[in-house]
Amino acid sequence: MPERRGWVALLEQRLQRERPDYSVVNASISGETTAGGLARIGKVLERVQPAIVILELGANDGLRGLPVAAMKQNLSGMIEQAQKAGAKVLVVGMRMPPNYGETYVAAFERAFAEVAKSRRAALLPFLLDGIGDKAELFQADRIHPTETAQPAVLNNVLAALRPLLKK
């Protein structure tokens, strides 16, 4: 799927229409883990000086079976740096398929809410809410949403983001 068709690009288009006082900078790297995000966020914050940071990281940690405690520590570190830089933070949660085991799946899902609560950040509990159970909205890998699903993903993000946007 072309990047310009993803939810981040759709967010940028929507904000240009509805909230031109905001712009979107996509600093993501496909396939990145929270460790990678933590290593890069300081330079991104210096360069961009954002009012709001949307942290949509962790899924790749889960898919690799990395320790949830490490993911939480990395997310917490990113939130701390963003808040010290004066940004509000929206943490975007994800879920793992059941084949990762009940214990890991439950801990992984809880991690996002626990970190957001401890750092007083906003939370979108599940990025794919409302589409996660619709196979036709996923690519052949059954992990990545199709282009058709992107407006629904955007709506999920916007619902959690709107309270952070200044009046």
What residue segments make up the domains of the chain, in order of their start? 3-164
Residue 166 — very low, low, confident or very high, per pLDDT cuts 50/70/90? confident
pLDDT in the model for residue 110: 98
- What's the first-to-final CA gap in the chain, in angstroms? 34
Q: What are the pLDDT digits (tens) for 45-95?
A: 999 999 999 999 999 999 999 999 999 999 999 999 999 999 999 999 999
pLDDT in the model for residue 73: 98
Residue 72, token pair as written in the block: 């939480």
pLDDT for 2 beyond 90? no
Query: What percentage of the chain has pLDDT greater than the value 90?
Result: 91
Residue 3 — very low, low, confident or very high, per pLDDT cuts 50/70/90? confident
Are 139 and 145 contacting, i.e. CB atoms less than 8 angstroms apart?
Answer: yes
Q: Domain 3-164 is classified in which CATH homologous superfamily?
A: SGNH hydrolase (3.40.50.1110)
Q: From CA 148, how far away is CA 129, in angstroms rounded?
A: 15
Q: What are the pLDDT digits (tens) for 42-58?
A: 999 999 999 999 999 99
Per DSSP, what are the bridge partners of residue 55? Answer: 91
Which amino acid, residue 129?
Answer: D
DSSP E strand boundaries for 3-153: 52-55, 88-92, 122-124
Mean pLDDT of the chain: 95
92 backbone dihedrals φ, ψ, rounded to 5°: -105, 115
pLDDT for 143 beyond 80? yes
89 backbone dihedrals φ, ψ, rounded to 5°: -130, 135
pLDDT in the model for residue 61: 97
Q: What are the pLDDT digits (tens) for 96-137?
A: 989 999 999 999 999 999 999 999 999 999 999 999 889 999
Mean pLDDT of 14-26: 95
